[in-house]
Structure 1
Amino acid sequence: MNLPLGFTDNAADALPLHVVTRAEFAAWQATLPAPIAAWVAAQQFDASPGTLLTLPGLEGGLGGAVLGIGDPLDPYSYGHAPFGLPIRAWRVAGARDAAATAALQLGWGLGSYRFSRYRQPLRAPAQLLIEPGHGETFDLLAASLRVRDLINTPTEHMGPEQLQEIAQEIAQRHGAQFDAVVGDELLAQNFPAIHAVGRASHRAPRLLRLSWGDSAHPHVVLVGKGVCFDTGGLDLKPADGMRNMKKDMGGAAHAIALAELVMARKLPLRITLLVPAVENAVGPDAFRPGEVIATRQGISVEIDNTDAEGRVVLCDALTHAGELSPALVLDFATLTGAARIALGPDLPALYSNDDALALAWLDAGMHQRDPLWRMPLWRPYLRYLTSAIADIANGGPSKMAGSVTAALYLERFVPAGLPWAHLDVYSWNDSDRPGRPAGGEAQGLRAVYALLKARAGI
């Protein structure tokens, strides 16, 4: 089998790796041969989280290593190992339960990742000897790395057409149905808001659609914002705000990876994936502030700001999702800087019109060590989206509650009574941390997969 980077199934010459928390350290040190215990003491090693120490062999050379960790069930507790240890095979010493083993394997894989399309990493990661029962863990890892790769790829190689090619390849591999509504066909099939945002680009806007599963199973629609680059449109972003806007399709990356994961694990669900894929460009045909655009639902939208384009493409997709009468709609989007101001880069903002759904996702996030935070759909703030000439505006002059008002805008296009949740994700690491290299990042993905497993009765 083809193993992920950082793993091996060859046990020959694999050295022992001791995984120890600070609370376990004294008891572990007491089991060591006297010379090794003296070496550990001389290094003043105490198994603090994020530390490691190589151990000498009794007859010279390298005899093993010890990894200091925090929460054993947090994959990122192990993220420092692959590039901190010498490049060779390592086997975990001692017994570990299944949950801790899965966290270790997932964290090792996340820590081994480097985006290598355009240059080779400076070194290879150390390799972990795999243990039985890694199938689901490796599928989760693949989904997380799919998100990272999609986001990290620059826009010239990850525009709407490339996103379509990837989604189509995934559909073919898993026996799913796939189609795309491209260019002016969006107008013919009544997706005018998607067309309006993407029409200025030399790359045609499109709606990607994938369908998979048995009609007898619960139907879940996954929607992902696929703005492959966001200049801000005529309300042009400043240079620092535009610098990383290849990541503005991070919501689509999450939705695509989640669909692929559900299909790979063959969950008893019926899924539909909807990705409005556009580039918000500046050009002669760019949509303009003050214009009123049509939407699939028939709600007229005044454009207050062309940089609030994500909610505009999503509203047509969410309307279409509602037309399918699913049991559940989940959308993912790099939607607002306001969510980052409120919660920082690591906590995605969760909005939902269904308390049970929101609590289930939050609970899954805690159990999976993949946290998110619920924010309020405070409907009185719809006043910030008032238009004098249209049914609603896509923004307004106030800077108050920007993430909340964006979510309220989306909710306007979700049928009443249909359980829906929206995740406003940053999808990015601003700097290198163990297990989290700078660049694209999956957030809330493991949590939502656990949520869907529970919905499927698994």
Structure 2
Amino acid sequence: MPSSCFVADHSAPTPVDLVPASAVEAYLEAHSEYAATVLRSEGFAAKAGELVRLPDMTGNLSRIVFGVGDNKDALCVAKLSASLKEGVYRFDYIPEDCDPQMLAVAWADGAYKFDRYLSKKHTPPQLVIADEAALEIATNFADAIHLLRDLVNTPAQDMTPEILAGQVADLAEEFGADLTVTAGDDLVEANFPLVHAVGRAAADAPRVIELSWGNADHPKLALVGKGITYDTGGLDIKTGGYMRLMKKDMGGSAHAIALARLVMSFKLPVRLKLVVPAAENAIGAGAFRPGDVLSSRKGLTVEIDNTDAEGRLVLADALVRAQEEGDPDLLIDFATLTGAARVALGPEVAPFYTPSDDVANAIAAAAEKAGDPAWRMPLWEPYYEMLSSPIADMKNSASGPMGGSITAALFLKKFVETENWVHWDVWAWRNAKYGNSEGAAAQGLRAMFGVLSARYKA
């Protein structure tokens, strides 16, 4: 089923012209004197996000004219689809250097609304994509990104570890993948001690969710996503302001799940392994404590310096598990791991870490092509000293406030055996933009899939 924001055909779609600022005069000269007069009277200069509903001589809507400014924002068109009423539209005029695939992604971005709890449901504007192959590509991206945003936007009351496991189960059923879920005290028996410790105080039991798909002879691709469905901070409790958005602390798992969906929907020739450690970092009689020393799946011991540094704990066990069925050709993890990443790069640029220059260069190129901003951060090994403990192999949190995203990545690196590893420290959120209110957003997803498509020749 095509995404509801796209349609293969329509008898009378409303035409839409996308005009860059550099071509506005040429655009006006190419149209009727009447149209040019109306646009000039509106002061249309094709600034990014500028929209004019152009009437015909009888006053009825003739076409939509939308400015894309310098045409450098890949998601600029999201403001267009966010602004349009229910109806069917087609692109009549687009700049020569626009990628139709990215235009479709941007359209889907703006057309999305999280309306689960609204009495009045949203009917998105639909874009005509007549080419069957292009429609399938647009639909695959829209479905994956909308799934990601739905997962992150859903309040923790309706996105528990059990429910998150159900979402992965639905994905496994859709694509014929294998699914294994280990939950509760079985995690101890199965040697996931860190996942169990983080989630054991919650009413909904922690669990490790594993999905496997594809031919075992193909290159192994391992995806891991932090699935903390709500983060109180544990006994090192967050203040109210910092806790307010912690429904999104499973945003890493949402990214990994969405990327798995893209891999399967595009049928990449890989052996896919998705591992999601899901837990709620709750406060209760069984909560782990500052000063506790915990074992890990790898055998390394961890002294708990701060219970609010729990995401790296569950990821540690999951990363080890993701490497146990043979060395992966590529190991990728996504996590809403640190506020330090936001301080360093702000809300829109997604930092990533990798020991491999080749992988880093591939991500940089894919991010540029997709308009999905990303920046490589250093795995600065002298900072390991900040994680040293006198009574355990390491601490889970650095001894000072500086370099918090780097030290978190270094912690994870202790549990990784391959050079072809990428760690994304994403926000999974967006402030109000493109005509929509704040909410979940994909970060690094399109860039990372661009790498996978090139690497595995999709």
The TM-score with structure 1 as length reference comes to 0.96
Structure 2 residue 402 is matched with structure 1 residue 400: yes
* Structure 1 residues 170 and 122: CA distance shift in structure 2, 3 A: closer
Q: Which residue in 1 is equivalent to 2:453?
A: 453
User: Which residue of 1 is the match for residue 166 of structure 2?
Assistant: 165
Q: Distance in 2 between matches of 1:424 and 1:457?
A: 27
C-alpha contact 1:336 1:424 (8 A) present in aligned 2: yes
Work out the CA distance in 1 between the residues paired with 2:88 and 2:57. 19
Task: State the Cα deviation string for residues 370-403 of structure 1 (Å, max 9, x = none).
Answer: 1111110000001111111000000133101000
Q: Which moved more, 1:278-287 or 1:112-121?
A: 112-121
* 2:439 is the counterpart of 1:426: no
Aligned to 1:115, the other structure's residue is in SS state: coil
Question: Partners in 1 of 2:120 and 2:437 — Cα distance?
Answer: 12
* Offset from partner CA, 1:398-441 (integer Å, 9 cap, x none): 101000000000000111x44111000000113x2116641111
Aligned to 1:112: 111
Q: After TM superposition, give the deviation of residue 103 of structure 1 in Å.
A: 1.9
Closer, same or farther in 2 for the Cα pair 1:302/1:367, shift >3 Å?
Answer: same
Match of 1:293 in 2: 294
In 2, are the aligned partners of 1:226 and 1:276 still within 8 Å (CA)?
yes
User: Superposition pairs for residues 235-254 of structure 1, below 5 Å?
Assistant: 235-254=236-255
| Alignment partner, residue 201 of structure 2 | 200
Q: Note the C-alpha offset of 1:86.
A: 4.4
Contact 1:50 1:77 in 2 (8 A): yes
What's the CA shift for 1:123? 6.1
1:37-436 mapped onto 2 (5 Å cutoff): 37-70=36-69, 72=71, 74-94=73-93, 100-120=99-119, 124-132=123-131, 133-324=134-325, 325-415=327-417, 417-430=418-431, 432-434=432-434
Count of matched residue positions in the alignment of Structure 1 and Structure 2: 455
Aligned residue type for 2:441:
E
RMSD: 1.7
SS of aligned partner of 1:203: coil
Q: 1:282 to 1:95 in 2, by over 3 A?
A: closer
Structure 1 stretches (4+) deviating beyond 6 angstroms?
A: 95-98
Q: Percent identity at matched positions?
A: 44
Change (3 A) 1:4 1:96: farther
- How far does residue 44 in structure 1 lie from its aligned partner after superposition? 0.9
Q: Secondary structure at the match of 1:326?
A: coil
Displacement of 1:124 after TM fit? 4.0
Contact 1:73–1:103, Cα closer than 8 Å, also in 2: no
- By how many angstroms is 1:187 displaced? 0.8
> Within 2, Cα distance between the matches of 1:103 and 1:131?
16
CA contact (8 A) 1:318 1:414 kept: yes
3-state DSSP of counterpart to 2:51: strand
Q: Is the 8 A contact 1:364 1:448 kept in 2?
A: yes
Distance in 1 separating the partners of 2:390 and 2:54: 72
User: Which residue identity lines up with residue 17 of structure 1 in the other structure?
Assistant: V
Distance apart, 1:98 and its partner CA: 9.5
CA distance in 1 between partners of 2:161 and 2:323 (Å):
24
Q: Secondary structure at the match of 2:76?
A: helix
Residues in 2 aligned to 1:71 and 1:120: alpha-carbon distance in whole angstroms: 39
Cα offset for 1:19?
A: 1.2
Q: CA deviation at 1:71?
A: 5.4
In structure 2, the partner of 1:6 is: 5
Alpha-carbon distance in 2 for matches of 1:51, 1:122: 27
Counterpart AA for 2:396: N
Shift of 1:60: 3.0
Do 2:21 and 2:70's aligned partners in 1 also have CA atoms closer than 8 Å? no
In 1, the alpha carbon distance for the partners of 2:130 and 2:52 equals 23
Gaps of 5+ in 1: none
SS at match of 1:273: strand
* Aligned residues of 2:17 and 2:94 also touching (Cα < 8 A): no
The 3-state SS of whatever aligns with 2:352 is strand
